[in-house]
Structure 1
Amino acid sequence: MKLQTQGIGYETAKALASQGLSVTIGCRDSAKAGTALQRIREAVPSARVDSVALDLADLTSVRDCAKRVLDSGVQYDVWINNAGVMACPKMSTAQGFEYQLGINHLGHFALTTEVLPGLQAADKPVRIINVASAAHQFGKIDFNDLMRDQKYDAWEAYGQSKLANIMFTYELARRLGPGSKVTANCLHPGVVKTELGRYMIADGQKTWYMPLLLEGFKVFMLEPEQGAATSIHLASQPDLASETGKYYVSCRRAVSSNDSYDREVAAKLWERSVELTSVAAAPAPVAAEPAVVAAASS
């Protein structure tokens, strides 16, 4: 399963298809999905790719997608949560969640926990990979204003959503427990030339110079295929089959922020996420811990 139809998501899907994997992409726009599938097939004639409807801003769509995945009987080897939004104005999802937390964290949380029983039932190694960001380092989980209703800052909200990605990954690894065939890892893809910054450009009507700055900064950005490298590494390297609860940057183990390793906050975020999304399949904590949860320096 590969989520997203362009940028890092597209390049990851194309690369995995070229390795002989059967790839499913999830997206909310059927026309864009069709274009992405056509491009992949043109680039990789032997590709086995299809798509499934998914709007992470609507939990009804998320649940429908999860049901279709489970009903399909497909036994996935890799599950990548890649889609996201960044620094958007104050907006809300269909369920009234702050847009960035709703899409970047709660949508992926609900989808992953809903399909988890199917991933576990396959009784084989399955890799769950969450695309986070170095922006988690300025993120704070504020349970008193999780939806940023009292005070909204686009970058603070983005940082919180990316920190949530990492804490979700670590907590999932802990709840799966030692010896689980399903693993969970996360990564920072780098600063990549994608449409992720589209809201910053749109805001150029208020800040006229932002589009110019972004255009100039592209010289220092990674190409999408470079940004996809770490996702592909985690998805395909044989020696990472049992790796879990880790954070990667540039295909190497890295250390995430101190806050990201706060187990009490992670457990509380998990329970709050369950309440908000009403997922029914979230795994309970296990008594034992994985051998290593905190990432080590490379």
Structure 2
Amino acid sequence: MSDEWTAERMPDLSGERVVVTGANSGLGFEATTAFARKGAHVVMACRSRERGREAMVDVREAVPGASLTLGKLDLADLDSVRAFAETFDEEFGSLDILCNNAGVMAIPRRETEQGYEMQFGVNHLGHFALTGLLLDALRASPGESRVVTQSSGLHENGEMDFDDIDGEDEYDEWDAYAQSKLANLLFAYELQRRLDSAGVEDVTSIGCHPGYAATNLQRRGPEMAGSRLRLAAMRVANAVVAQSAETGALPMLYAATAEDVAGGDYVGPTGLKNMRGYPGKQESSDRSRDEDDARRLWELSEERTGVSFDI
């Protein structure tokens, strides 16, 4: 395909059903708007119902007649993940595209409701559980369905510290973030390997990253840490270096809809240092392709979430 792939090149998605986590802001909001513009019914999976409702109003202003449902999903609480999946199955039954998009970045050490380090818990464990719980719905789709998992270029700095996965002995917010983003890709690729091994041809798993996009994601860590200096630096970087959230959402949209995407692909911006520009296929780090780490992470994730994939 052309290097200049934009959301206008997405196919007609009328009759398709899409779940986007973190749909109320940033990349999730832009992806929701783009999917709705192409006729999909989008289930906006949001932690805050209030912010979700406000975002629905904004999407409908941009796309009159947009087909939307608001779903309550707190990825930091596995009970909430189960409740969301159960409600989805009751209301819809089948799913065409799952965008594992929501996340937290470089925050002071916090724990999820189940006591896991927050970045690993939200960015990886919550989405691992959600995907497993929605797998039957993905397989019930009449055509090919896709699982798109949002990573980051910073996954290249990541290393799986299985001896201290929760940073209880030593914690650095950026190391924890990079580890969680590496976990996203290990999961995405291992899911595809397991689908292939089981002969499942109607579900495809793809990894992606947005490059450097200006969103609220960068603000939360400095705000939680009370660092005015870091917050000011983030604002300057977002204004000077970052691309827009709308452009940053393109790799996720490409991974979710482009015809030339295959299971196990990795999609990101193809411009300056893979931080900006139009989306295309890329190579992720060697660590992200480590099958031993992927199997170990999978087993740990099943143990922690209580979710097993029926494949």
Q: Is TM > 0.5 for Structure 1 vs Structure 2?
A: yes
Matches of 1:278 and 1:94, distance apart in 2: 14
Matches within 5 A, 1:1-298: 1-4=19-22, 5-177=24-196, 180-202=201-223, 205=226, 207-218=227-238, 219-240=240-261, 243-250=262-269, 251-279=279-307, 281-283=308-310
- What residue number does 1:296 align with? none
Q: 1:234-292 CA distances to partner (integer Å, 9 max, x unpaired)? A: 2222333xx1011111221111111111101101100110000011x4145xxxxxxxx
Matches of 1:36 and 1:95, distance apart in 2: 29
Gaps of 5+ in 2: 1-18, 270-278
Deviation, 1:179, is 5.5
In the alignment of these two chains, the number of paired residues is 280
Matches of 1:87 and 1:19, distance apart in 2: 34
Deviant stretches of 4+, over 3 Å? none
Amino acid at match of 2:215: T
Q: Is the 8 A contact 1:57 1:99 kept in 2?
A: yes
Match of 2:164, SS state, is coil
Deviation, 1:74, is 4.0
| Normalised TM-score (structure 1) | 0.90
Amino acid at match of 2:260: D
Q: 1:160-207 CA distances to partner (integer Å, 9 max, x unpaired)? A: 0000000000000001115611000011101111111223332664x5
Matches of 2:106 and 2:179, distance apart in 1: 11
Aligned-CA RMSD value: 1.4
Q: Is the 8 A contact 1:84 1:103 kept in 2?
A: yes
Q: Indicate how the Cα distance of structure 1 residues 217 and 121 shifts in structure 2: closer, same or farther if over 3 A, else same.
A: same
Q: Is the 8 A contact 1:129 1:231 kept in 2?
A: yes
Amino acid at match of 1:46: G
Q: Indicate how the Cα distance of structure 1 residues 204 and 157 shifts in structure 2: closer, same or farther if over 3 A, else same.
A: closer
Gaps of 5+ in 1: 285-298
| Normalised TM-score (structure 2) | 0.87
Amino acid at match of 1:44: V
Aligned residues with identical type, % of pairs: 38
Q: Is the 8 A contact 1:89 1:199 kept in 2?
A: no
Deviation, 1:66, is 0.8
Matches of 2:310 and 2:142, distance apart in 1: 16
Does 151-160 or 188-197 show the bigger shift?
Answer: 188-197
Matches of 1:204 and 1:171, distance apart in 2: 34
